[in-house]
Amino acid sequence: MEEQVSVHNGAGGIPEWAVDVTPDSAERLVASLSDIAIVVDGEGMIHDVVTNDIELAREVGEGWRGRAWIEIVTPESRPKVEDLIGRALKGSPTQAREINHPTDRGVDLPIRYSAVALGRTGRIIAVGRDLRRLSALQRKLVETQDVLERDYSRYRAAETRYRMLFHVTTDPVLIVDGATLRITEANPAAIEQLAPVSDKLVNRTVLSCFDYDSGQLLESALKTARRTGTVPGIEARLATTGTTFAVSIAVFRQEQDVSFLLQLLPVEGAKGAQAGGAAQDVARVVEHFPLAFVVIDEDWRITEANQAFLELVHLASKEQILGQVIAKWLGRPGVDMELLMARLRESQSVRSFPTILRGSFGGSEDIEVTAVSTLVGQNPVYGLLMRRALLQPAAAVREPNPYTSVDQVTELVGRVSLKDMVRESADIIEKLCIEAALKRSGDNRASAAQMLGLSRQSFYAKMRRHGLGNLGGMDDDESE
């Protein structure tokens, strides 16, 4: 005989199982189905509170019983409480409402309540879900999205700087895939000089651009560069025009793939007349470019600068800066320019180098420098693109005195002034001495202060500044 299963639809009386429900089991049932449940009368007075969440019970305590529901919520939540009570008393379906409770910690406790009347007693039970975990997840999501947006903006700015430098240079520049030796990117100068009758330079093998002997020499140089990371420059002859170029090779990685940056400089200056018109066009573009751009020689003297740079250093004409040493305005004296030029000599390009720019009449501001090294004839020249420093994500803002050892402070050499490093070192030593005195005295602050030759008030002030110990117990030390 098959077992019959009945489904109760809420009409026609109380279901059989409900008759056996005791008050204790009903309380456990409500607690298991919600984070918190409160029982109120028709006037909104709280008669009972049930919760199975230890943390929530600690927040609620015994202070809710005997109080009006609207007294323990924030002002904007009171209309929601009145609406829940009114609908429950009328027997109308109640929509879940999010209600905030103020706490002693100054942070609201968000709970989503639904309410239903308890038979003919005139009382109402409101069951709620704690929304703090959901709120924390939402807040973390928003913070993560903000950081991602700032990172994306920084990457877009870096890409813009790269594209600008890549396109304005008058020398052919090629990006070559390290595995296939196919050209993945070529600047306008490379397309014009290496493939004048075709725009299909990209995706060709770089070796096919040169004659056989030069191709063999270039292939060997690329293999050496891939293996060692560096290779001396070579000379290679184009297959189409026979023009000889000095080829410099740089190796870089994109994720797991190796790529080559090839810069080609004509050995003979036969193309000077043709390049003259293009150079003038580039000069006009750079002059009106919104970011500051400066060209310097090997002695750091300015040979060219655009209007944006003049505005940053508060000068009116180029005559005031041409021939001047760039270190007069750029970088911390004796530190930043040496570091920047050393990195340029090592890798031929530097991105987002943090430094400062000083105005001609005082004041300074943080900037980022993207720089590239190239040759004009046999002489090296350097192009510096400058922009005001972007704000860092909030999670990356440096906390006061984040260093815990002098070794960490010495790593700042070249990035901050000696005065700042000495101050950081003094703070570290002071903190270490206080910690040692507390340890030696068995955490007796009065004895530790005496060891260091400090008054108790001064000792407590230093502990507070370094975030050491629980200063709420100072009276205990006084009695020791």
Could you list the beta-strand ranges (E) of 377-419: 379-388
Q: What pLDDT is attached to residue 104?
A: 81
Instruction: Dump pLDDT digits (tens) for 16-32.
Output: 544 444 555 555 556 55
Residue pair 358/364 in contact by the 8 Å Cβ criterion = yes
Q: What pLDDT is attached to residue 7?
A: 43
Burial class for 198, CB neighbours closer than 10 Å (0-12, 13-18, 19+):
exposed
d(CA 112, CA 96): 6
Q: What pLDDT is attached to residue 470?
A: 64
CATH numbers and ranges of domains, the chain: 16-130 (3.30.450.20), 171-271 (3.30.450.20), 279-393 (3.30.450.20), 406-479 (no CATH)
Quick one: how far is CA 356 from the chain centroid? 21
Residue pair 246/235 in contact by the 8 Å Cβ criterion = yes
Q: What pLDDT is attached to residue 407?
A: 60
Q: What pLDDT is attached to residue 3?
A: 46
d(CA 288, CA 102): 57
Q: What pLDDT is attached to residue 19?
A: 47
d(CA 155, CA 349): 17
Q: What pLDDT is attached to residue 230?
A: 73
Residue pair 293/321 in contact by the 8 Å Cβ criterion = no
d(CA 210, CA 217): 10
First-last CA distance in the chain: 83
Element (H, E) at 139: helix 132-168
CB atoms within 10 A of CB 64: 16
DSSP state of 77: G
Instruction: Dump pLDDT digits (tens) for 410-446.
Output: 655 655 567 767 777 787 888 889 888 888 787 888 8
Q: Which amino acid is at 347?
A: S
Phi, psi of 105 (to 5 degrees): -80, -5
Sheet-wide strand order for 109-117? 46-51, 36-40, 124-130, 109-117, 97-101
Q: What pLDDT is attached to residue 372?
A: 93
Q: Give the CA-trace dihedral at 415, 418, 420, 424, to 10 degrees.
A: 100
Q: What pLDDT is attached to residue 175?
A: 92
The C-alpha R_g of the chain, in whole angstroms, comes to 37
**Residue 175 neighbours by CB under 8 Å, 6+ apart:** 183, 184, 185, 186, 259, 260, 261, 262
What are the residue ranges in the chain where pLDDT is below 70?
Answer: 1-33, 196-199, 268-281, 390-417, 420, 470-480
Reading the block at residue 9, the tokens are: 């639809």
d(CA 168, CA 308): 17
CB atoms within 10 A of CB 185: 15
Indicate the pTM of the whole model.
Answer: 0.34
Residue pair 247/234 in contact by the 8 Å Cβ criterion = yes
